[in-house]
């Protein structure tokens, strides 16, 4: 049984930073669909060619493509005990695709944020797909497509919230406690 932990929250909330630390501390693979997609784009794979423009605009790659890529990754032997998902699911359809035998959604960590502060942080981070326009699109997409997952997982009794604007180590300690529940 693979115990899945999901890091949920808007772009720029620090999910990647915390997933990295939690991954190390709990010896679980950190799976970021954003990182995987950017690798496909860099390597100009078939998926990368399709995804490149979508990423630049800040839109979502289709559920089918991302889900296939993710499920394939979860089949890897390093995920047999568990994994941390960062950036997946981003839609209800993606969440439903995780409801399969052998996977258990144990824990969803919601990164709670203040939008203005986030946009400022993201522009400072300076990633290629972090233009003002694409950031705006990504927030809209988050509100429309991804935020409904908050209620979805809350109703399942697996949602735990952390304030994403604390000290990195304080946030890490809170998440660690939730990992031990
Ligand atoms: P991230 O690094 O998580 O901010 O993701 C960067 C970009 O990759 C997003 O803006 C989307 O275009 C794409 N992406 C990452 N994860 C997903 C997903 N689960 N579903 C659809 N698109 C995704």
- What distance in angstroms lies between residue 33's CA and the mean position of ligand 1's atoms? 6
Residue 82: what pLDDT? 96
Long-range CB contact pairs, 51-57, < 8 A, 24+: 55/129, 56/128, 56/129, 56/134, 57/134, 57/137
Answer whether 41's CB lies under 8 Å from 51's CB. yes
Instruction: Indicate whether residue 175 lines ligand 1 (CB < 6 A).
Output: no
- What distance in angstroms lies between residue 56's CA and the mean position of ligand 1's atoms? 10
Instruction: Indicate whether residue 61 lines ligand 1 (CB < 6 A).
Output: yes
Instruction: Indicate whether residue 13 lines ligand 1 (CB < 6 A).
Output: no
Q: How far apart are CA 163 and CA 174, in angstroms?
A: 9
- What distance in angstroms lies between residue 83's CA and the mean position of ligand 1's atoms? 18
Residue 159: what pLDDT? 98
Residue 126: what pLDDT? 74
Q: Detail the DSSP E strand segments found in the chain.
A: 2-8, 30-32, 82-86, 103-112, 159-163
Instruction: Indicate whether residue 37 lines ligand 1 (CB < 6 A).
Output: yes
Answer whether 62's CB lies under 8 Å from 56's CB. no
8-state DSSP, 77: G
**Residue 72 token pair:** 């394939």
**Which atom from ligand 1 is nearest to the alpha carbon of 51?**
12
40 preceded by a cis bond (ω within 30 of 0):
no
Q: How far apart are CA 2 and CA 82, in angstroms?
A: 4
Using a 10 angstrom Cβ sphere, with 0-12 exposed, 13-18 middle and 19 or more buried, the burial of residue 110 is buried
**Residue 63 token pair:** 């559920």
**Residue 163 token pair:** 């304030």
Residue 117: what pLDDT? 84
Residue 78: what pLDDT? 97
**Residues whose CB is less than 8 angstroms from the CB of residue 76 and which lie 6 or more positions away in sequence, other chains included:** 29
**Which atom from ligand 1 is nearest to the alpha carbon of 35?**
2
Q: Which domain holds residue 101?
A: 2-179
Task: Choose the residue to mutate in 38, 90, 128 for probing ligand 1, maximizing ligand atoms within 8 Å of C-beta.
Answer: 90
Q: How far apart are CA 86 and CA 32, in angstroms?
A: 5
CATH number for 64: 3.40.50.300
**Which atom from ligand 1 is nearest to the alpha carbon of 37?**
8
Q: How far apart are CA 19 and CA 64, in angstroms?
A: 24
**Residue 114 token pair:** 């203040």
Can you give the pLDDT of all 181 residues of the chain as single tens digits?
A: 899 999 999 998 999 999 999 999 999 999 999 999 999 999 999 999 999 999 999 999 999 999 999 999 999 999 999 999 999 999 999 999 999 989 999 999 999 988 888 888 888 877 777 888 888 899 999 999 999 999 999 999 999 999 999 899 999 999 999 998 7
Q: Number of folded domains in the chain? A: 1
Residue 123: what pLDDT? 85
């Amino acid at each position: 049984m693979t115990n899945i932990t999901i890091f949920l929250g808007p772009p720029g909330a620090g999910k990647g930073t915390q997933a990295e630390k939690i991954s190390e501390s709990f010896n679980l693979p950190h799976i970021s669909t954003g990182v995987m997609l950017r690798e496909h784009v860099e390597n100009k794979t078939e998926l990368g060619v399709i995804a490149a423009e979508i990423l630049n605009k800040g839109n979502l790659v289709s559920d089918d493509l991302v889900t296939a890529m993710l499920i394939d990754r979860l089949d890897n032997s390093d995920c047999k005990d568990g994994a941390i998902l960062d950036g997946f699911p981003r839609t209800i359809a993606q969440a439903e695709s995780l409801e399969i035998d052998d996977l258990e959604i144990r824990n969803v960590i919601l990164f709670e944020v203040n939008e203005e502060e986030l946009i400022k942080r993201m522009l400072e981070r300076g990633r290629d797909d972090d233009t003002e326009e694409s950031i705006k699109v990504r927030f809209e997409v988050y509100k429309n497509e991804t935020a409904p997952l908050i209620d979805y997982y809350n109703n399942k009794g697996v949602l735990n919230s952390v304030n994403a604007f604390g000290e990195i180590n304080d946030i890490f300690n809170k998440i660690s406690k939730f990992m031990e529940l």
